[in-house]
Structure 1
Amino acid sequence: MGPTASGKSDLAIQIAQWTVEICPFRHPRTLYRHPRESGDPEKSINDVSSIDQKTELQKSPERFPCEIVSVDSALIYRHMDIGTAKPDKTMQAAIPHHLIDIRNPNETYSAAEFRKDALAAIHSIETKQEVPLLVGGTMLYFKALLYGLSPLPTANPAVREHLQKIAESKGLDYLHEQLLQVDPETAKRVHPNDPQRIQRALEVYEITGKPMSQLCKVQEKDPFPYHAIQIALMPPDRKILHQRIKIRFEHMLKEGLIDEVKALMQRFDLHADLPSMRSVGYRQVLEYLNGKIDFETMKEKAIAATRQLAKRQLTWLRSWPDVHWFKPEDLQGIKKFCQEKIS
């Protein structure tokens, strides 16, 4: 776990290497939970140590008795590689990854679907007597997986069509006002220009007669059937994290993020309301390609949005139970902690 650009990917690789030493026998009921990105926050995102680790993995992938389950709402999308910092083919070949490239960018994927798929992936890894390593920063997915889901109703096509017609005839502002009347708590949390979340909240109210905010406070009793060792990375300094975020996005632009989004636009019917296009970086590049903002504004907005994402992730983590905090560079401390937990 950890905010974006905190060093999750390198740590996942490092733990994969450690499993040979600290798991000489199998621990089918022990899970490591970690996040993705690159190593030492003082270094650039092209950290040589990261490249060396991936090369070593490619040489001898059979040494690592673990598989990664991605807990990242952006990595589920096919063809969205650069802007999501998706693990490359070398790393995916060395360490099997689950829940990556499972949806097209014009499709949706719910927390309920994630929980079902993640539990299936963990079970599959266990049957091979290997270690599941959960890697990501989508805290809503972690919450759904570890603590169960709120008893929200499934989608109702008739209600959705009705709400869509109202949105088309009276506007999204009208729907947001309606939501403010029946569920002010959710209305204050949802942006007035977010049609998917506004209509979903109204749909839940239409079906159940209860505010979505009230239902979300109730967790179904469906406990996680494993013991999770939860590790979170805390960047030592906000300025360093912000600098990493800036360097990371500039690197994505150099790697061809704009061309990637152009290709997506040609292949799929994309618009800003799709969950995939709400991913930081993609939304801003889409605005730029649609002529709504200039290049420099796009860069500024993308970097600012990524900083806000990191802030939200840290807010989640600070109130998260049973999590153990480490600095990204404290590899020996993390290794010792893992050894103690599974010994």
Structure 2
Amino acid sequence: MTSSPYLISIAGPTAVGKTAAAIALARYYQTEILSADSRQFYRQMSIGTAKPTPEELAAAKHHFVNSHSVNEPFSVGNFERDGLSALNELFQKHSVVIMAGGSGLYIKAITEGFDELPDIDPSIREKLNLQYAEQGIAVLQEKLQTVDPVYYQQVDLNNPQRLIRALEVFESTGTLYSSYRKGSYKQRPFTSIKVGLDMPREELYNRINKRVDDMIVDGLVAEVQQLLPYRHLNALNTVGYSEIFDYLDGKTDLPEAIALIKQNTRRFAKRQLTWFRKDKDIQWFKPNDVSAMIEYIDKIIAGLSA
């Protein structure tokens, strides 16, 4: 018999309906929600991150929504540490806690952990960041392909932070970043149950397009305008903000910026699904089929508790 508490992870692409499903499950299990969305942490970014509405936040208590300022660096490692600490407290009150988000790396951090990485010389990171700012992402891609072809085949080549992370590890230690990625699981003091949400691609893309239109109506341009002083920060280097910065710079007009946000969000959703599909522990459901999710979760809990 196990007395381990249960963490229910709700994963899936952007705009699929994770918030509604998580709230429904939180209400059923009379518990709270840990957000694993790497952009909803930030108080200044609301419209472009499709944060839960005040009504949704009132329907179930959320953690790690509006928890940080864009000025505060908050890495996936920080989230692993703080998220596990929050769960430790939540499991004092609840035998089940819900975690919801589309950031696969952040869900992995909580459920599995990461291999220990070495300390990095800050001057190396600074040098790589400067190189990226002055010469663009192609230079980082070429460097990584040369020094670590294994990780080059695995990484999102359009994510400068991931490229810089791999290069700074290599330049600091002389050891390949890929050699640190053993994929070993860390023992957690809870049992993890993973639920994935998906729908037909055309339906998802229609939802994405409508969400972007709604963001514009809700004042996305004004939100991004207020964030101009912070545009150099990593938190702002993200879909929905980058395209509006380009519009405010006069590089595009507004219809083109909106079309690019939709296109880039659809591509992002596709990458999210590719990531989650690799996780064989995820059981997939339609977003509105909450009763089937509950049946699945209850069956696992009953089986493990028997």
Q: TM-score range by the shorter chain?
A: 0.7 to 0.9
Aligned-residue sequence identity (percent) comes to 37
User: d(CA) in 2 for partners of 1:143 and 1:276?
Assistant: 20
Q: Which region of structure 1 is more displaced relative to structure 2, 181-190 or 143-152?
A: 181-190
For residue 7 of structure 1, the aligned residue among 13, 17, 26 is 17
Q: Aligned to 1:134, what secondary structure does the other structure show?
A: strand
Aligned length: 291
When the two chains are superposed, the root-mean-square deviation of aligned CA atoms in Å is 2.4
User: d(CA) in 1 for partners of 2:47 and 2:241?
Assistant: 10
- 1:242 partner letter: Y
TM-superposed CA distance for 1:107, in Å, is 3.9
User: d(CA) in 2 for partners of 1:166 and 1:312?
Assistant: 26
Residue 105 of structure 1 pairs with residue 81 of structure 2: no
User: d(CA) in 1 for partners of 2:156 and 2:186?
Assistant: 27
Residue 283 of structure 1 pairs with residue 242 of structure 2: yes
CA distance 1:143–1:165, change in 2 (3 Å): closer
User: d(CA) in 2 for partners of 1:205 and 1:278?
Assistant: 24
For residue 224 of structure 1, the aligned residue among 181, 185, 188 is 188
Q: Which residue of 2 aligns with 1:247?
A: 210
CA distance 1:251–1:161, change in 2 (3 Å): closer
- 1:245 partner letter: I
Whether the 8 Å CA contact 1:201–1:212 is kept in 2: the answer is yes
CA distance 1:250–1:128, change in 2 (3 Å): same
Q: Aligned to 1:250, what secondary structure does the other structure show?
A: helix
CA distance 1:214–1:281, change in 2 (3 Å): same
Q: Aligned to 1:66, what secondary structure does the other structure show?
A: coil
TM-score when normalising by structure 2? 0.86
Unaligned stretches of 5+ residues in structure 2: 1-10
Whether the 8 Å CA contact 1:80–1:260 is kept in 2: the answer is yes
CA distance 1:221–1:130, change in 2 (3 Å): closer
CA distance 1:320–1:123, change in 2 (3 Å): same
Q: Which residue of 1 aligns with 2:120?
A: 155
Counterparts in 2 of 1:180-259, with a 5 A limit?
Answer: 180-187=145-152, 189=155, 191=157, 195-216=160-181, 218-219=182-183, 222-235=186-199, 237-259=200-222
Residue 320 of structure 1 pairs with residue 274 of structure 2: no
Unaligned stretches of 5+ residues in structure 1: 20-64
CA distance 1:116–1:168, change in 2 (3 Å): closer
Whether the 8 Å CA contact 1:99–1:117 is kept in 2: the answer is no
CA distance 1:270–1:338, change in 2 (3 Å): same
- 1:270 partner letter: R
Q: Which residue of 1 aligns with 2:48?
A: 83
Q: Aligned to 2:32, what secondary structure does the other structure show?
A: strand
Q: Which residue of 2 aligns with 1:42?
A: none
CA distance 1:243–1:156, change in 2 (3 Å): same
- 2:231 partner letter: L
